[in-house]
A = this chain, B = another copy of it.
């Protein structure tokens, strides 16, 4: 067995396991033991590396946020027009990786967790601010009220997310819904 540099490996394993466990339970009512077991270690080790349960959750949330950021930037880097940028942002929000039931469940739960945990809230705000500023940046050339439109789109994203998470029957692809719904509010860019 290896002896050095285990920390990042263990942390990664725990974060992954935490997300999986949350996904499986559908809630944050998950024990450190269950997470640790799934990650192949004792719960004592989990505490050794993360200090406490909340830190595991926060790390998991950061992990998901980072995954989302990757989706966003990889798509954004290919977009040249404001419309493309908007499309990139919306589609990133419904990318496979974000739409993975496991992730969507964790995401949803963190959302609520933010309501009672300042740390979680802080992370959530980061996501919200980033999405908002990305949206506004994309919308500015093609909308007269980019802020308001951005807020509506962000709300639409969140709303469709939840519906997906809760398995509501969806008439069509969420991204398409958003884009179609947004279209009339856009002007021509030049």
Contacts and interface: CB of A to CB of B under 8 A. Distances in A.
A1 interface: no
A162 B165 contact: no
Interface of A: 25-27, 29, 105, 108-109, 111-116, 121, 124, 128, 147-148, 151-152, 154-163, 165-168, 170-172, 174, 177-178, 180-181, 184-185
B159 A177 contact: no
Q: How many copies does the complex hold?
A: 4
A116 B25 contact: yes
Given A27-B116, A168-B128, A156 B154 contact: no
Q: Helix, strand, loop or mixed for chain A's interface?
A: helix
A124 B162 CA distance: 12
A172 B148 contact: yes
Given A128-B168, A158-B158, A112 B27 contact: yes
A26 B168 CA distance: 25
A115 B111 contact: no
A156 B157 CA distance: 8
Given A148-B171, A155-B177, 4 more contacts: A26-B115, A27-B112, A124-B166, A155-B160
A154 B114 CA distance: 23
Nearest to A101: B115
A178 B149 CA distance: 10
Contact of A159 (B108, B113, B156, B180): B156
A151 B177 contact: yes
A74 to B, nearest CB: 25
Contacts of A181: 152, 181, 185
Contacts of A26: 115-116
